[in-house]
Structure 1
Amino acid sequence: MSTSRRIACIRIPELTGAPAPAAEAWDGAARAALSGALLAAAPRVIPVRGHPRAFWADVTGMEGHGGDAAVARALVQAAERAGAAAHVGVASCCIAAAAATRERVHAVRVVPRGREGDYLRRRSLGLLPVSADLRQSLELLGLRTCGDLAGLVPAEVELRFGAEGLRAWRLARGDDGRWPFRPAEPGIAAAETDFEPPIESAEPLRFVLGGLIDSVAAQLRARQRIPARLRLVLRVEDRPDDVREIRPARPTGDARVLADLCRRVVDAHPLAGRLRGVSLVAEEEGTARADQLDAFQAPAPDPGALHAALLPVFARWGDGALSAAVHHGAHLPGEQAEWSARGSDGIAPLSAARPPGTEPAKEGPIAFRNTLSLCLRRLPHPVKVVVREDDEHRPLQVDLASLPNALPGGGMGSFPPRMWKTRAEGPERISGAWWARAAAREYWRVESPEGWLGLVYRDAASGRWYLEGWYD
């Protein structure tokens, strides 16, 4: 047993204000939520196998957090925030830490290093994980406490009870070599938890991600660092580990931003099977950066601040709140481009884009100066309009009386009068898409006397006129 190791056992005898739930009532989501809460106080938390309301926490090397007693109190408080009243025991071995959670007076009990045997001496043999046959045999011999068993000669114990009896004798003396955690990577900020039993869907995982992020960020803050790249490892049952990368647009310690990125990489691909554990590792570290502003150039937005500011917008309006135009090689104006929802994935390109007016000058002659290209503001759907034509089928007058304002808040601005004479430019005849829904249209650009510019077309099949949009 390594004396440098320290382990905490967290036992939940009851929920706050309610009796302790049965094992079958404590579903994966409840255990995952409690694991996520406990990760705020310890970097590695896993459930105790066979005990649905008990957890192990690795508290090795946490002297900088106030010592064993402070960490134990932090675990109690974390459990309270999750709605559970916890008893916490801290020791250098599993058997002593588990025994310390049976204290009735105090919710926290710390067993001093090297005193595990003394602490267990008066504890009941019922604490030892032994078979029913061995337990009955020990009781028949009048052995009631761990001290009674530890006082026997080990050779006689092994001769009479075999390997199981010798293992129980060692546990009774506090000689417990069990360690439920995987070896940690030295010098790496990481946090992990297991699920017992494995979870079927990614939904309970959402309760854990926040705790994993808080734990990793706290470890990095102690070294005055922040995450630049994270590795999320999903341990899938009977399959290789599913490793996914989280890379912020810029190193950031903002938990909300990191949680959003983690959620997105989890949602990007379905789980390959039942999830038995998850870990988060700081693959690359960075430092908080402040950009030196240029007196003659507009500053680019900070990706971390921009991400954090947009999170409430995404929560209310979805990923479509930040969209980008995707151009297609289509003939019809309504199919040449569409809006594609980017969500937080579009923040990095947005923050990297040059502010307007800072683009490098292009070489070569410029056809027009001091002019802006017109932008076609398309309606969500083309709207029927009444058009009076001349003998050559050119639009002479356009009637917008029945045209509703398709955008909220008067997005089209002030309409021209109900019936107005127009100047028209066209036609531009476009047809195609016979393999889907064939279209044949004749497009005209029309202008009202007040200068309002619109795009109308006549459908060749029906002869009806439609307003496609207007120009800004």
Structure 2
Amino acid sequence: MSRRIACIRVPVPADTPAPDASARAALAGALLAAAPRVVPVREYPCAFWADASGMAGLGGDAAVARRLAEAARQAGWEARVGIAGSCIAAAAATRERRHEVRVVPPGGEADYLRRRSLSLLPITPDLRQSFYLLGLRTCGDLGALVPADVELRFGADGLRAWRLAGGDDARWPFRPPEPGLASAEAEFEPPVDSSEPLRFVLQGLIGQVAAQLARRQRIPARLRLTLRVPDAAEDAREVRPARPTADVRVLADLCRRAIDQHPLAGPVSGIALLAEEEGAARADQLDAFQAPAPDPGALHAALLPVFARWGAGALSQAVLHGAHLPGENAAWVARGSDGIAPFAGARPPAEPSARDGAIGFRNTLPLCFRRLPEPLDIGVREDPEHRPVQVDIPAGQNALPGVGIEGFPPRLWKTVVQGPERISGGWWAQGEAREYWRVESPEGWLGLIYRDAVTASWHLEGWYD
């Protein structure tokens, strides 16, 4: 496969300030929609190299160049694009003001540069002045000289300039891709010192990796996100969806979480995404006799707006502490995207069989206990056996905004009770002695109340739904 490189240059007037880091990152992210690797051109604030090798299956060089120009336009920039087999020829092609897109045919770099000015060559001012004094004005003039004479008079720098004038450019700004693996990368010049500009390029990186896999009818299963920091070891972070998926929104959310999980080691000069594992698109066969579990990828995509508004706590998990009091027995721990796979894989508990003397009901979930932030003082009328037969919730407290329930039953209501469950202990702290009862109102509202054995006062711990 012959190497092909694209140069994308946005002409910026001299009196216009250079784009900031966020604008350059947004442009790099847009260009990733058309090329797998994007690198800034050093010392040019709004110019990029893009790897155009192996694009024959996408329409060839001309189609890739048009896609790059259109990607820049969608990002708000009018760019000129040149594609050639060497950096010097591709950069020279962006100087043609009458052409938005210019493709130099393979092997035609020397002919294309023959009439171009020597000002295009990245050489020192002194060497350029020496060529000028000798009457050399174009790359063709320099290329017509004998290379041995050029090296004898101007040394290694002169010989390098002679080679550049003939389209022989040893520069290649991209790292070799890992064989057989889908990858994409972008670099920043100067390095960015916050994670915000990185978000602009994530979608482009993911889109490129997913597109490369799609040509083999595969989708990402595990990704490696690498952050490159100058003078520091590469920071590699794993991104693993709940199941293989090509949903860009889901993968972008996971990548953002991977970036925010640990602080950056310093200003980031580059970011790369590699598909370390691949998978196939799946369609699970549902069990006709069991309630179906949700698809993790679809569930993740559906929860993205919820996470954006409420944070990782929108999907939380109850963690048991093994305490003797119901209020201390469990706590909610925010899981966010990491909790989707276990949640989607959970199945309803096994249904009791008819042999156990119980009738099973399908598609039902166990009751969830909703504990109040603080127990609510209530009035309870007891029967001669000290069983609660009537509950009195003080006026104004039977509606609790923000705790997940619109209101408790009417202020005074009779109840059906189950209990008691006596719990005591905790002498090493403040000590507790309680008698718990489960109560049910005539309307079917279920609650958990307890009597404090020390003060003989009654309290509402929470309710079930």
**TM-score, with normalisation over the residues of structure 2?**
0.89
Cα pair 1:13 1:20 within 8 Å, conserved: no
Q: Quick one: structure 1 residues 371 and 429, their matched pair in 2 at CA, closer, same or farther if it must change by over 3 Å?
A: farther
CA contact (8 A) 2:85 2:106 kept: yes
Partner of 2:153, secondary structure, is helix
2:4 to 3, 6, 21: 6
In 1: Cα distance, 2:441 partner to 2:145 partner: 109
Unaligned runs of 5+ in 1: none
Quote how far apart the aligned CAs of 1:5 are. 0.7
Structure 1, residues 222-276: CA drift from partner, whole Å, max 9, x if none? 1221112211122222222222222222211111111112112222222222222
SS of the aligned residue for 1:84 comes to: coil
In structure 2, distance between residues paired with 1:376 and 1:156: 89
Q: CA deviation at 1:70?
A: 0.6
Q: Distance between the aligned counterparts of 1:77 and 1:40, measured in 2?
A: 10
Query: Contact (CA 8 Å) 2:435, 2:453: kept in 1 or not?
Result: no
SS in structure 1 at match of 2:291:
coil
TM-superposition CA deviations, 1:301-321 (whole Å, max 9, x none):
222222222222222332222
Query: Which residue pairs with 1:404 in the alignment?
Result: 398
* Cα separation, partners in 2 of 1:320 and 1:68, compared to 1, 3 Å: same
Secondary structure, aligned partner of 1:13: coil
- Asked if the contact 1:380–1:406 (Cα under 8 Å) also holds between the matched residues in 2, the reply is no
Structure 2 letter corresponding to 1:8: A
Cα deviations across residues 22-47 of structure 1 (Å, max 9, x unaligned)? Answer: 34xx3322221111110110001011
Question: C-alpha separation between the residues in 1 aligned to 2:318 and 2:46?
Answer: 51
Distance 2:377 2:321 in 1: 26
1:144 maps to 137
Query: Where does residue 349 of structure 1 map in the other structure?
Result: 342
Q: How much has 1:462 moved relative to structure 2?
A: 6.9
2:460 corresponds, among 445, 449, 467, to 467
Deviation at 1:76, TM superposition (A): 0.6
Greater alpha carbon shift after TM alignment, 82-91 vs 444-453? 444-453
Instruction: Tell whether the 8 Å contact from 2:434 to 2:451 is kept in structure 1 after alignment.
Output: yes
Q: Distance in 2 between matches of 1:246 and 1:418?
A: 55
Report the CA distance shift for 1:447/1:211 in structure 2 as closer, same or farther (over 3 A): closer
Quote the offset at 1:64 in angstroms.
0.7
Name the structure 1 match of 2:379. Answer: 386
CA gap of 1:239–1:352, structure 2 versus 1, over 3 A, is same
Q: Matched residues in 1 for 2:241 and 2:404: separation?
A: 38
Counterpart residue number, 1:369:
358
Q: Residues 311-326 of structure 1 correspond to what in structure 2 (within 5 A)?
A: 311-326=304-319
Other structure's SS at 2:79 match: strand
- Does residue 17 of structure 2 align to residue 22 of structure 1? yes
Deviations 1:110-134 (A, max 9, x none): 1111111111111111111111111
**2:146 corresponds to:** 153
Q: For the structure 1 residues 289 and 243, does the alpha-carbon distance in structure 2 shift closer, same or farther, using more than 3 Å as the test?
A: same
SS of 2:225's equivalent?
A: strand
Tell me how large the CA RMSD over aligned residues is: 3.0
Structure 2 CA distance for aligned equivalents of residues 449 and 174 of structure 1: 88
Give 1:344's aligned amino acid.
Answer: S
1:158-181 Cα deviation digits (max 9, x unpaired): 122111111111111111111111
**1:204 to 2:178 alignment:** no
Give SS of 1:350's match: helix
Change (3 A) 1:429 1:114: closer
Q: 2 CA distance for matches of 1:374 and 1:300? A: 18
Structure 2 CA distance for partners of 1:441 and 1:32, relative to 1, 3 Å: farther
| Alpha-carbon offset, residue 465 of structure 1 | 3.8
Once residues 415 and 64 of structure 2 are traced to their aligned partners in structure 1, the CA distance between those partners, rounded to angstroms, is 80
SS state of the match for residue 279, structure 1? strand
Farther off after superposition, 410-419 or 168-177? 410-419
Q: Within 5 A, what are the aligned runs for 1:442-453?
A: 442-445=434-437, 447=439, 450=442, 453=446
The residue identity in structure 1 corresponding to 2:162 is: W
With over 3 angstroms needed to count, the CA separation of the structure-2 counterparts of 1:449 and 1:155, relative to structure 1, is closer
1:128–1:319 Cα change, 3 Å: same
Q: CA deviation at 1:11?
A: 0.6
Amino acid at match of 2:400: A
Shift of 1:406: 2.3
Distance 2:206 2:157 in 1: 41
Distance 1:39 1:124 in 2: 31
In 1: Cα distance, 2:312 partner to 2:95 partner = 49
Q: What is the count of residue pairs matched by the alignment?
A: 458
> Which runs of 5 or more structure 2 residues have no equivalent in the other structure?
none
Residues 419 and 286 (structure 1 numbering): CA distance in 2 closer, same or farther, change over 3 Å? closer
Of 97-106 and 153-162, more deviation after overlay is shown by 153-162
SS in 2 for 1:96: helix
Q: Distance in 1 between matches of 2:227 and 2:292?
A: 39
Q: Distance in 1 between matches of 2:424 and 2:70?
A: 69
Percent identity between the aligned chains? 65
Of 328-337 and 298-307, deviating more is 298-307
The separation in 2 between residues aligned to 1:110 and 1:237, in whole angstroms, is: 34
SS in 2 for 1:262: helix
| Counterparts of residues 40-55 of structure 1 (less than 5 Å) | 40-55=33-48
Conserved? CA contact 2:223–2:239, under 8 Å: yes
Supply the AA of the counterpart residue of 2:105.
P
1:458 CA drift (Å): 4.8
Distance 1:114 1:448 in 2: 86
Is the CA contact 2:69–2:80 (under 8 Å) kept in the aligned structure 1? yes
